[in-house]
Structure 1
Amino acid sequence: MTQARSAAVALEEATVAFRLAGGRVYTAVEKARLSVADGEFVAIVGPTGCGKSTLLNLAAGLLKPAGGAVRIFDRPLAGLNREAGYLFQADALFPWKTALENVAIGLDIAGTPRAEARERAQAWLASVGLASFGNRYPHMLSGGQRKRVGLAQVLIRNPKIILMDEPFGPLDAQTRQIMGNLLLDLWSDDRKAVLFVTHDLEEAIALADRVVIMSAGPAARIIGDWRVELPRPRDIFEVRLRHEFHELHREIWHMLKAEVAKGYAQAGAA
Structure 2
Amino acid sequence: MTKATTAAVALAGTTVAFRLAGGGIYTAVDKADLTVADGEFVAIVGPTGCGKSTLLNIAAGLLKPAAGEVRIFDRRLAGLNKDSGYLFQADALFPWKTALDNVAIGLEIAGTPRAEALARAQAWLEQVGLGSFGNRYPHMLSGGQRKRVGLAQVLIRNPRIILMDEPFGPLDAQTRQIMGNLLLDLWSADRKAVLFVTHDLEEAIALADRVVIMSAGPAARIIGDWRVELARPRDIFEVRLGQEFHALHREIWHVLKAEVTKGYAQSSKLAEVQ
- 1:3/1:37 Cα in 2 relative to 1: closer, same or farther (>3 Å)? closer
Q: Deviations over 1:156-191 (max 9, x none)?
A: 000000000000000000000000000000000000
CA distance in 2, matches of 1:219, 1:4: 32
Structure 2 unaligned spans of 5+: none
CA deviation string 1:215-242 (max 9, x = no partner): 0000000000000000000000100001
Q: How big is the shift at 1:5?
A: 1.3
* C-alpha contact 2:3 2:191 (8 A) present in aligned 1: no
Is the contact between residue 4 and residue 39 of structure 2 (CA under 8 Å) also seen in structure 1?
no
Separation in structure 2 between the aligned mates of residue 106 and residue 55 of structure 1, nearest angstrom = 24
Match in the other structure for 1:26: 26
The within-5 A match list for 1:240-259 is 240-259=240-259
Matched with 1:47 is 47
Name 2:74's counterpart in structure 1: 74
Partner residue in 1 for 2:137: 137
Tell me how far 1:120 sits from its aligned partner. Answer: 0.0
Deviation at 1:109, TM superposition (A): 0.3
1:246-268 per-residue CA deviation (whole Å, 9 max, x = no partner) reads 00000000000000000000000
Q: Structure 1-normalised TM-score?
A: 0.99
Partner in structure 1 of residue 100 of structure 2: 100
Instruction: State the alpha-carbon separation in 2 of the partners of residues 68 and 175 from structure 1.
Output: 39
Which amino acid in structure 1 is aligned with residue 139 of structure 2? H
Q: CA deviation at 1:123?
A: 0.1
The answer on 1:111 being equivalent to 2:111 is yes
Percent identity of equivalent pairs: 86
User: Which contiguous aligned blocks of 4+ residues in structure 1 show a shift greater than 6 angstroms?
Assistant: none
Q: In the alignment, which residue of structure 1 is the partner of 2:86?
A: 86
Partner Cα distance (1:245, 1:105) in 2:
40
Query: Are positions 1:173 and 2:141 aligned together?
Result: no
RMSD: 1.0
User: How many Å separate the matches in 1 of 2:62 and 2:110?
Assistant: 20
Paired with 1:96 and 1:3, the residues of 2 have a C-alpha distance of 39
Cα distance in 2 for residues equivalent to 1:260 and 1:206: 20
The normalised TM-score by structure 2 is: 0.97
Task: In structure 1, give the amino acid aligned to 2:165.
Answer: D
Tell me if the contact between 2:3 and 2:38 (Cα under 8 Å) persists in the aligned partners: no
| Structure 1 residue 121, shift from structure 2 partner | 0.0
For residue 64 of structure 1, give the secondary structure of its aligned residue in structure 2.
Answer: coil
**Partners in 2 of 1:102 and 1:5 — Cα distance?**
35
1:234 maps to which residue?
A: 234
Amino acid at match of 1:172: D
- Give the deviation of 1:28 after TM superposition: 0.1
Equivalent residue number for residue 157 of structure 1: 157
Count of equivalent residues: 269
Q: Which position in structure 1 is the counterpart of 2:219?
A: 219
